[in-house]
Amino acid sequence: MATQCNQQLSLHWLEKLVLLALNELNRPAIYEELAQKAVELVNRAQTALSRESFTTTARKPSAIAKACGWLQQKQLIEQYEHGETTRIISLGREGLRYASEGLPERRLVNFLIERGGEATVDEVSSAVNDYTIALNWAKRNGWIAFDKKNSETYVRIVSEPPSMTVAEELLQRLMLEDTIPMDSLPEEMKNIVEQMITRQDVIRIVEKRERRVGLTSKGKELASQLAAVKLEDILSEITQLTPEILKTGKWRHLTLSKYDITAAVPPVFAAKRHPLVELIRLVKQVYVEMGFEEIQGPIVELAFWNFDALFQPQDHPAREMQDTFYVDLEEKGEIPREYVDEVKKVHENGGRTGSKGWRYNWSEDEARRLVLRTHTTATTIRHLAEVKKPPIKVFSVDRIYRNEKVDWKHLAEFHQIEGIVMEKGANFRQLMGIIKEFYSRLGLREVRFRPSYFPYTEPSAEVEVFLGGKWLELGGMGVFRPETTAPFGVKYPVLAWGLGLERLAMAIYGVEDIRTFSRNDLAWLRRTSPLTPYRVAGRI
Amino acid sequence: MPVVNIRLEKLSKLIGKELTAEEAAQHLAAAGLGIEETTENEIKVEYNPNRPDYSSIHGIARTLKGILGKQRGLPRFKLRNPKIIVNVDPSVQGVRPYIVCGVVRNLSLTEEDLEELIAMQEDLHWILGRNRKKVAIGLHNLDVLTPPFVYRAVKPEELQFIPLKSSTKMTPKQILEEHEIGRKYAHLLESYDRYPMILDARGNVLSMPPIINASLTELTSGVRNIFIDVTGTDWEKINQTLNILMTSMIDSGGSGEAVIVRYQRKRYLTPLMKNEYLTLKSSLVNELLGLNLSDKAIIDLLRMMRFDATPSRKGMLKITVPPYRTDIMHPVDLVEEVAIAYGYSRMELELPKARIFGSVRRTTIIQEIIREIMIGLGFTEVLNILLTNEDEQYRMMNVNEHPHIRVLNPATREYTMMRTWLIPSLLRNLADNQQHLYPQRLFEIGDVIVPDPTQPEKARRRLSLAAVSCHADASFSEMKGIAEELFRLLGLNIIFTPTAHTSFIDGRVAELCVRDSPIGIMGEVSPSVLESFDLPMPTTAFEVDVEQALQYRLEKD
């Protein structure tokens, strides 16, 4: 019972009218019949509201058809095609125009009345649109006659037409009702239809297989319940609350219809951060929690800082054009004079570090070349050279570049999570400890380390994190070699690491193709929840 | 990174202990090798290029023997007395000056052993040889040759021989021009008018380094005695290469034999196989690793890694480095060896002591605030990369090129420059998203790169903000309202000044100014630009220089 009640209340007033019309007809009917019946019902009702506001809609078979669609979905009616066909009339293109502008012959007569009953054909032709049609039909109707005076042809009213002809009445009805079944028209009007069909696209007739609407048993039950309610109560129900209804206090006499609150609605999308930016925000937060200070450095970088300062020999494969983006600029960069000699010595023979060095001739020119930095460690060593004084704990999460072919696993431009700690007594166990702490704050508690190699760190390690059922290689780390720190006057051990952001992001967001992060597919951006990284981190 | 295939059966035999694939993989990883793929009989491992001795299973087995306690300390490699002389003619001086050689006898190589040997040779060419430029290796069937050998440079058409992968005799010139391998490496000899050649006493060619060997000396699976030549431009590297080859081949069961290499003024007995000596302070080990190891413990750990170590005086150790360890440059390299032997996984983790408070940079704060405002205004953030191309940045935008940073030799063709503004990539994003619901409102805040001759790097980053609104009713007035609200919240009084900009519709574009200074541009994107992006939807856009805009704000404060 309760569900039935709800269903009844969730009906639109037009749906209710259709049910009542069917109830009263007590037989299956076509839309046009239902429209006529609905109008009749409204006109019978006592209502505080203007009847017109209902009849303008209810008299349109197209609106009735829509309501029938809704009712069918609710299984209150069924619709079926009847074997017989009906002739349905509707307005053509010209008919639509005539219905709003008036028939040409009517406009002609009006013009002539304005002119005192007559005018020359020339005057008519310039004042009345469609004047040839107008003259033709006014003559046929016997409203006008032609006279010749002083070699000019005059048009004169001979019999004033009724204020509304049957043809005009038909146009008006069609304007209001959209479609009318030919059979429902009075005989007189049927004749007019036959006449108007000869005029250019004023009226259209289509043969339609009849669609009949009948009540289902559920519908019947509901319709009889509705019939017991006063129609004005049904009609006083409204769907939309308006400022006008509120201001005038009309709401006191109205009922607001209940909605089907389970119905689907058009989607709405929240604007938000890019998912990678969201993750960067969390990573930065973790760094700050751990007491790190953010640094930033150039993207177009001197080979000196990117490679030489980090003890990468000038013939190192990573420095080759197929791995590194070199800048196409005739002018070379300027390298910091105060460090050139020390860096040169360290490369050539180890300088005062006790190292053998790389044993080749170091070229200043090579160090002055400009590259798109291949790691943010370039920024780190700059910072160390500038500050020197312990303790230092700094980080950056920023863009780096590799001259690689882009595919689902590789990008030419991506982000590195960089960090260093420099203090007296800093050691390798602390380096592993800090990385473990970092990842555990992102919710990744299973971390392992294995030996690795970088030209500027010793000992070096690779860090792997267990996520999504497998071990992921996420980055490299190590203690800076003396050949890296000594030329810049850094006296204590520097613990350094560079971790991949995108690979971490792939695991966190469950993304298979690394290019997703720069593709900006709106479906993905809209779908991805900002909660994800925080949930993985166990922070919410 | 280079990769080597390890046959489990062979590894077990070399170590003298049966290992399952799982056990082997575990030990290999602990030694610093990356496990690429494990099957029942084979493990594919990746090794770091600082360890060229890991280019063969023998080098890897040597370390594993130490870790598993099967054999510790310095491995011994016996060399028999020389029987073969190689004379070095002064003509090679200006071309490829150095050669060192070795002989290994009594080998019994299977087809698979041979394949591994060739793979090792290729890895060494790449790692130490810089693709044969610095080092080139030739392996020859000694039994078909008549010593002594000579290393000299010949004229391009002075002689003929049948090179590998050919059936006819060719001159050196023909090889460089016509032979598949010759053409591949011809650039290494292109600036010379003479080409290096190794010949035997009867004038048979062994090799034309660094290009190709003669077909005559080709190794086949039955071969027993091998002659090795290593030529190059870097004396140290060719010796390292020969040491690694010889030690590996001796470990595979051959007997090594030295070769006399006679230069004009000096003669060498090669391979040199010289050990190196380093002094290691045990305090360095303990400080760097945060451990408290005794001298004896350190000695034991280093012997596991196949070094010899003896105490010289208290806290000082004398370390002997075997000839195949080309990577030991400084005592810190030995510290890592201790760490690997100790086991990274055994070390207790701790945190650094320094108490410092964390903070983010001003630019991070500014970006976050602007993001909040833009999101509040209904704009979704996108993130594009800085690499782009002139076509998108300028031609499609219907503007002339501005000064910008170009890159050389990009592997991906559409990356030729660094972006100088953001709007073009936002329009591309819109074009890529046409199947999704409208309205689409996007923004990006990020760096552009502008040339700047005053900087040591000749360029600098500049923080830019751009937004686009794309839907059937997108209009200047909508975007103007948005820009006004953004700048009101940023505390800036923005003035819209009429301007001309060919990316936008004439008369519907404004320069955004703060105190008479332009800080950005805003307008309805011109239909021709929309057409070039294939985006049939009205779009308005603005872009501002954030740093410059905020500077006025700061001055005002």
Q: Determine the distance from the C-alpha atom of residue B448 to the mean position of all C-alpha atoms in its chain, rounded to a whole number.
A: 27
* Mean pLDDT confidence for B118-140: 93
Partner residues linked to A430 by β-bridges: none
Report the b/e string of A260-269 with b at 16+ CB within 10 A.
eeeeeeeeeb
Show the tokens assigned to A480: 């800076």
Q: Which two tokens stand for residue B182?
A: 């010759």
Choice between B554 and A472, residue whose per-residue pLDDT is larger: A472
Residue predicted with more confidence, B552 or B205: B205
Please check whether residue A497 is in contact with residue A418, taking contact to mean a CB–CB distance below 8 angstroms: yes
> How many CB pairs (< 8 A) connect A and B?
270
Task: Give the Cα separation of A212 and B200 in Å (integer).
Answer: 107
CB of B537 within 8 Å of any CB in chain A?
Answer: no
- Tell me what pLDDT residue A54 has: 83
Contact B380 A272 (CB under 8 A): yes
Taking residues B381-409, what's their average pLDDT?
96
Q: Does B250 touch chain A (CB under 8 A)?
A: no
| The pLDDT of residue A115 | 86
Residue B230 has pLDDT above 60, yes or no: yes
DSSP B74: P
Structure tokens at A399: 């863009």
A371 CA: distance to closest CA in chain B (Å): 8
Joined tokens for residue B336: 């890592």
Closest-CA residue of chain B to A427: B288
Q: Which residues of B touch A276 (CB under 8 A)?
A: 383
Q: Indicate the residue of B333, B336, B457 with minimum beta-carbon distance to A298.
A: B457
Q: Average pLDDT in the B192-217 region?
A: 94
Closest residue to A329, CB basis, from B51, B290, B458: B458
Q: Tens digits of per-residue pLDDT, B77-126?
A: 999 999 999 999 999 998 999 999 999 999 998 999 999 999 999 999 99
Instruction: Show the tokens assigned to B256.
Output: 């090594």
Which tokens belong to B377? Answer: 């205004």
Query: CA-CA distance, B93 to A395, in Å (whole number)?
Result: 51
Strand partners, B198: B151, B207
Contacts of B99 (CB under 8 A, 6+ apart): B86, B88, B92, B151, B198, B209, B229, B230, B231, B238, B261
pLDDT tens column, B387-400? 999 999 999 999 99
- Centroid of chain to Cα B174: 34
Cα end-to-end span (Å), chain B = 55
Q: What confidence tier does B219 reach under pLDDT thresholds 50, 70, 90?
A: very high
pLDDT tens string B268-306: 999 999 999 999 999 999 999 999 999 999 999 999 999
The Cα B320–Cα B250 span in angstroms is 20
In this structure, the strands spanning B42-46 and B79-88 are unpaired
Q: Report the pLDDT value the prediction gives residue A4, as an integer from 0 to 100.
A: 41
C-alpha angle B268/B272/B276, rounded to 5°? 135
The amino acid sitting at A522 is: L
Which domains does chain A possess? 2-93+167-256 (no CATH), 104-164 (1.10.10.10), 275-536 (3.30.930.10)
Phi-psi region of B20 (alpha: psi -120 to 50; beta: other; left: phi over 0): beta
What is the rounded distance in angstroms from the CA atom of residue B524 to the CA atom of residue B311? 79
Domains of chain B from N-terminus onward:
3-67 (3.30.56.10), 79-270 (3.50.40.10), 288-342 (3.30.56.10), 362-556 (3.30.930.10)
- B453 and B445 Cβ atoms separated by less than 8 Å: no
Q: Which residue has the higher pLDDT, B447 or A239?
A: B447
**Nearest CA distance, B166 vs chain A (angstrom):** 32
β-strand pairing of B539-545 with B459-470:
antiparallel
Contacts of B457 in chain A (CB under 8 A): 298, 300-302, 333, 370
Chain A contact for B408 (CB, 8 A cutoff) = yes
pLDDT in tens, chain A (540 residues): 334 444 444 688 888 899 999 999 998 888 888 998 998 888 888 766 677 878 888 888 888 988 998 898 888 999 888 777 888 888 888 888 888 888 999 999 989 888 888 888 888 888 888 888 888 888 888 899 888 887 888 888 888 888 888 888 888 888 888 888 888 888 888 888 888 888 888 888 888 777 889 999 988 998 888 888 888 777 777 777 888 888 988 788 777 877 778 877 888 899 999 999 999 999 999 999 999 999 999 999 999 999 999 999 998 888 888 889 999 998 899 999 999 999 999 999 999 999 999 999 999 999 999 999 999 999 999 999 999 999 999 999 999 999 989 999 999 999 999 999 999 999 999 999 999 999 999 999 999 999 999 999 999 999 999 988 889 999 999 999 999 999 999 999 999 999 999 999 999 999 999 999 999 999 999 999 999 999 999 998
* Widest distance between CA atoms in chain A: 127
φ, ψ (nearest 5 deg) of residue B283: -65, -35
Whether residue B407 and residue A326 make contact (CB cut-off 8 A), yes or no, is yes
Alpha-helical (H) ranges within B214-294 are 235-251, 282-289
CA of B133: which chain A residue's CA is closest?
A315
Would you say residue B548 has pLDDT above 60? yes
A215, β-bridge pairs:
A77
pLDDT on residue A7: 44
For residue B552, what pLDDT is reported?
A: 75
**pLDDT of B514 above 50:** yes
